[in-house]
Structure 1
Amino acid sequence: MIDEEISNLTTIDAFIQRKQPFAVYRIPGEKVPRLLTQAEGAVRLIYDLKELNGQRGFVIAPFQVSESCPVVLIQPDQWGQPLSVDDDTEEDRKVALRLQGQESFLTSSTEEYAACFHTFINALRDRTFDKLVLSRHLTVDKVADFSPLSIFRAACKRYIHSYIYLCYTPQTGIWLGSTPEIILSGEEDEWHTVALAGTQPLQDGRLPQVWDEKNRKEQDYVASYIRRQLLSLDIHATENGPYPAYAGALSHLKTDFRFALKDNKGLGDLLKVLHPTPAVCGLPKEEAYQFILQNEGYDRRYYSGFIGWLDPEGRTDIYVNLRCMHIEDKQLTLYAGGGLLASSELNDEWLETEKKLQTIKRLIAVPPLKS
C-alpha cells in the first residue's frame, strides 16, 4: 500500500514539474480518491460562468473572475490509479497522536484585521448590508520536505465529512483544501445544494444542539437567498433543515435543497446565480460583493470560489472552496473567513477565523510519506 502511494506521490510531483494539470479529490462518504490529469492541450480558460453550460471537466473558479484569476477547466484525458487512504499504518497512528489537541490560537486580532472588521461592522450597523463576510489570509514558510500528497492523505483520514482535494494548473498554481459546503451536486433529475452558515466548535466531538440568534439569523439569510435564486430559474426545491452538520472540528447549520432540472446542460447558468452565496459574500449580493473587493484589503483568488467535477451527462460534485491553502515554492497561504452581522463582536469573529485556519494548519506538520 505504501509503495503504491510513493509511486503516486512521485507521479504528482512529476505532473507539477512538467506543468501538467491534475486533480485528486475525495468526495464525502467515499473511501477511494480519484486522480485525473490532462496530458494533451491547454486547460480551458473561462471568464463568464455561463460558458460552463454543457461542459465536462474539473472546474476551479475564483471568488472574482479576472484576467489573472480565470475560471479554469481541466478536461482530463488520463485517469490515474485510485489512491487508498483507508488502511491505518503505524505512521498514521503516530500522526494522529501528534494532531490530537494541536490547537494554537492567537487570541488577539491583528491591527489589520481589526481595522477591516470596524469598516465592515460600521456598514452593517448603518444598515447598508444585512450580512457581510470578512476573510483573512495567513502566510507561513514551507518546510523543505513538505509533501502536498501526504497532507491530502492526512486530510482524507481526519475530515471524513468534507470534500478533500489537491489540484494544479499552470494558471492557478497548487491548491489544497478540505471543504464542507456543496454548491451543486447531482445527476439526471436529482440535484442538491445547501445553505451552510453559523459556526460553533464541536462539544466533546458531538454536534451542538443549541444555537444562538446570531448564528440562526446568519444561516437563515443564506437559506432565503438560495431559495430566491432557485426560484429565479423556476426551480422549486424541497427543503430539509436547518440542522447541525460536521465540518472538521467545527459545526455549521445546514439546510438541504433538492430539486430537478429541466435541462442539465444549463449548469453554468445555475452556478452563476448561486455564486457567490451569502455564506462567502453577503447581502444584498452585488453590493456586498463590490464592498468586499474594495475594503477587504487583499485578493482572495480561488478561496471562496468553487471547485470540483462538472458533468451534465453524468455525476457533478462541486464545492465552495473553503478551508484551503495555496502552495507556492517557499510559502503556504491559508484562508478563512466568517459571516458578520450588526451584532458581531471583534474577538468572537477573530477566534472563529483562527479555528477555521486550524483545519489546515494542524495538517502542515504531517511528515512526508517514506519509502
Structure 2
Amino acid sequence: MIDEEISNLTVIDALIRQKRPFVVYRIPGEKLPRLLTQAEEEIRLIYDLQELNGQKGFVIAPFRVSEMCPVVLIQSDGWGQSLSLDDDTEEEYEASLQIQEQENFQTSYTKEYADCFQAFINALRDGTFDKLVLSRRITMDKGADFSLSSVFRAACKRYIHSYIYLCYTPQTGIWLGSTPEIILSGEKDEWNTVALAGTQPLQDGKLPQVWDEKNRKEQDYVTAYIRSRLLSLGIHSTESGPYPAYAGALSHLKTDFHFSLRDNNGLGDLLKVLHPTPAVCGLPKEEAYRFILENEGYDRRYYSGFIGWLDPNGRTDLYVNLRCMHIEDERLTLYAGGGLLASSELNDEWLETEKKLQTMKRLITSTSIIANY
C-alpha cells in the first residue's frame, strides 16, 4: 500500500508506467476513491470460487475461470488510501458534459450479432431456455490523448450511483468499469444481494415508472433464481422491490435481498452459488452457461464476472462487472449485453446494447473534449 499522502489521481498513470499492480475504486455513496497496490509476486491466483472462503482482499473474478483468466486476489491490509478527485479541469469537465450529451448510436446491427441473436432466440423459442444473455464487444482506437486518470475521474463524477473501478494486474491487464449491480455486500450479520434486470432509458433524467411485460418477466426470472439459490444454502431473506434504479443514463428493475449468515467465512460458497446470476447468464443456469460459452463467439474474460473488496470479518462490497472496458496499448475493448426472452426482437436488443455501450463511450468522448478544450 502507498503510504504517502496523495492529492490527486495522477498516481494512476505513474503506476501504469511502472507496471505495478493496483486497483482504485469508488463505492456508491462515498465521495473519494480508494487505492490499493501490491507487489506482483504477492498477488494470489485462484481457480475455484470456494477458495475465497475465509479470504480477505480485492477480488477480480472472470465470467469463466480458466488458466488464462484466473480469479485474482490482491491481499492488502485495509480498504486502501483515499485519493482526491479535485483538479484544475473540474469546471471544464462540467461544461463538457453539456456539450456532448447527444448520443451516437449505430442503429443497424452487424451480421455477426444477428447470427448470434438467431441462435439464441431459436433456443428460447423452442423452450430449451427461459432466458439467455447475449453480449458483444466493440474495439476502438485508444487515441494519443487518452488518460486513465482522466477517464476514471470522469466516471466518478458522472456515475454517482454506480461502483467505479480501475485495475491493473499482469494476469488481467487494465480494466475500467462503472457497474450498478451488487452480487454480495454487507458485514457482521447484515448482508444483501440484488436481482437487477430489465432496461429502459431515463425519461428527462428521471426513473421510468411504467415497465412492459418483457422487462418485468426478465426481472422476475432473476429474482426467483436468487431466492431459490439462497434457500438452497438455508438462507432465508427478506425482499424489497422490484423498483426502478439508476444505472448511468439507464434504469433497471431492482429487488433487494437482505439476510444473515451462519458463518461469514463461507462467502466463497455463496459466491459460487450466485455467480453467474441470470442477469448475465440465463436459465436454467448451468445449461445457459454452457450454451453461451459455445455460441456467443468470443471469450468475455472479466466482463460479467465480479469485482470488489472481500472481508469476512469486516465490510464486503462485491459488484458484477458490467459497463466496462479492457484497455490495451493501442485499443480499447468495450462490452455490453442484454437479456433475451422468447419475445425479444433483434432491433430492440441491438439498440439496448448500443445504449449500454454509451456508458463507457461518454467517458472517452468527454475526456477527449477536455483534452482539446
TM-score range, shorter chain: over 0.9
Q: What amino acid sits opposite 1:93 in the alignment?
A: E
Q: Secondary structure at the match of 1:41?
A: helix
Matches within 5 A, 1:290-309: 290-309=290-309
Offset at 1:148?
1.1
Q: Report what 1:4 is aligned to.
A: 7
Q: Report what 2:43 is aligned to.
A: 43
Q: C-alpha offsets along residues 107-163 of structure 1, whole Å, 9 cap, x if unaligned?
A: 110000000000000000000000000000010000112111111111111111000
Q: What amino acid sits opposite 1:4 in the alignment?
A: S
1:221, 1:278 within 8 Å by CA — same for their partners in 2?
Answer: yes
Q: What amino acid sits opposite 1:284 in the alignment?
A: P
TM-score norm. by structure 1 comes to: 0.95
Q: Report what 1:72 is aligned to.
A: 72
2:198, 2:218 within 8 Å by CA — same for their partners in 1?
Answer: yes
Q: Report what 1:18 is aligned to.
A: 18
Offset at 1:79?
7.3
Q: Report what 1:180 is aligned to.
A: 180
Q: Secondary structure at the match of 1:68?
A: coil
Q: Report what 2:351 is aligned to.
A: 351
* Aligned counterparts of 2:187 and 2:198: Cα–Cα separation in 1: 28
Q: Secondary structure at the match of 1:104?
A: coil
2:21, 2:40 within 8 Å by CA — same for their partners in 1?
Answer: no
Q: What amino acid sits opposite 1:160 in the alignment?
A: I
Q: C-alpha offsets along residues 252-308 of structure 1, whole Å, 9 cap, x if unaligned?
A: 000000000010000000000000000000000000000000000000000000000
Q: Secondary structure at the match of 1:106?
A: coil
* Aligned counterparts of 2:209 and 2:243: Cα–Cα separation in 1: 8
Q: Report what 2:93 is aligned to.
A: 92
RMSD between aligned residues: 1.7
Offset at 1:86?
6.5
* Aligned counterparts of 1:136 and 1:61: Cα–Cα separation in 2: 19
Offset at 1:77?
5.5
The reply to whether residue 127 of structure 1 matches residue 127 of structure 2 is yes
The reply to whether residue 326 of structure 1 matches residue 288 of structure 2 is no
CA 1:333–1:342 in structure 2 vs 1: closer, same or farther (change >3 Å)?
same
Offset at 1:90?
2.1
Offset at 1:14?
2.8
CA 1:360–1:59 in structure 2 vs 1: closer, same or farther (change >3 Å)?
same
Q: How many residues align structurally?
A: 364
Q: What amino acid sits opposite 1:247 in the alignment?
A: A
2:13, 2:147 within 8 Å by CA — same for their partners in 1?
Answer: no
CA 1:78–1:308 in structure 2 vs 1: closer, same or farther (change >3 Å)?
closer
* Aligned counterparts of 1:70 and 1:106: Cα–Cα separation in 2: 34
Q: What amino acid sits opposite 1:170 in the alignment?
A: P
1:37, 1:78 within 8 Å by CA — same for their partners in 2?
Answer: no
Q: Report what 1:30 is aligned to.
A: 30
Q: C-alpha offsets along residues 73-92 of structure 1, whole Å, 9 cap, x if unaligned?
A: 01126876522236883222
Q: Report what 1:106 is aligned to.
A: 106
Q: Secondary structure at the match of 2:132?
A: strand
2:50, 2:269 within 8 Å by CA — same for their partners in 1?
Answer: yes
> What 5-or-longer segments of structure 1 have no aligned partner?
none
CA 1:52–1:78 in structure 2 vs 1: closer, same or farther (change >3 Å)?
closer
* Aligned counterparts of 1:172 and 1:98: Cα–Cα separation in 2: 34
Q: C-alpha offsets along residues 289-340 of structure 1, whole Å, 9 cap, x if unaligned?
A: 0000000000000000000000111100000000000000000000000000
Q: Report what 1:163 is aligned to.
A: 163
* Aligned counterparts of 1:269 and 1:52: Cα–Cα separation in 2: 8
* Aligned counterparts of 2:371 and 2:306: Cα–Cα separation in 1: 29
* Aligned counterparts of 1:213 and 1:82: Cα–Cα separation in 2: 44
TM-score norm. by structure 2 comes to: 0.94
Q: C-alpha offsets along residues 11-64 of structure 1, whole Å, 9 cap, x if unaligned?
A: 222322332211110111111111111136331000000000011110000000
Q: What amino acid sits opposite 1:91 in the alignment?
A: E
CA 1:79–1:48 in structure 2 vs 1: closer, same or farther (change >3 Å)?
closer
CA 1:30–1:86 in structure 2 vs 1: closer, same or farther (change >3 Å)?
farther
2:12, 2:148 within 8 Å by CA — same for their partners in 1?
Answer: no
1:37, 1:77 within 8 Å by CA — same for their partners in 2?
Answer: no
Q: Secondary structure at the match of 2:364?
A: coil
* Aligned counterparts of 1:327 and 1:360: Cα–Cα separation in 2: 12
Q: Report what 2:195 is aligned to.
A: 195
Q: Report what 2:3 is aligned to.
A: none
CA 1:77–1:21 in structure 2 vs 1: closer, same or farther (change >3 Å)?
farther
1:131, 1:218 within 8 Å by CA — same for their partners in 2?
Answer: yes
* Aligned counterparts of 1:346 and 1:47: Cα–Cα separation in 2: 36
* Aligned counterparts of 1:86 and 1:284: Cα–Cα separation in 2: 47
Q: C-alpha offsets along residues 337-364 of structure 1, whole Å, 9 cap, x if unaligned?
A: 0000000000000000000000000110
Runs of 4+ displaced beyond 6 Å: none
* Aligned counterparts of 2:310 and 2:324: Cα–Cα separation in 1: 20
Identity value in percent: 79
> What 5-or-longer segments of structure 2 have no aligned partner?
1-5
* Aligned counterparts of 1:228 and 1:80: Cα–Cα separation in 2: 35
2:13, 2:149 within 8 Å by CA — same for their partners in 1?
Answer: no
1:27, 1:33 within 8 Å by CA — same for their partners in 2?
Answer: yes
1:192, 1:256 within 8 Å by CA — same for their partners in 2?
Answer: yes
Q: Report what 2:263 is aligned to.
A: 263
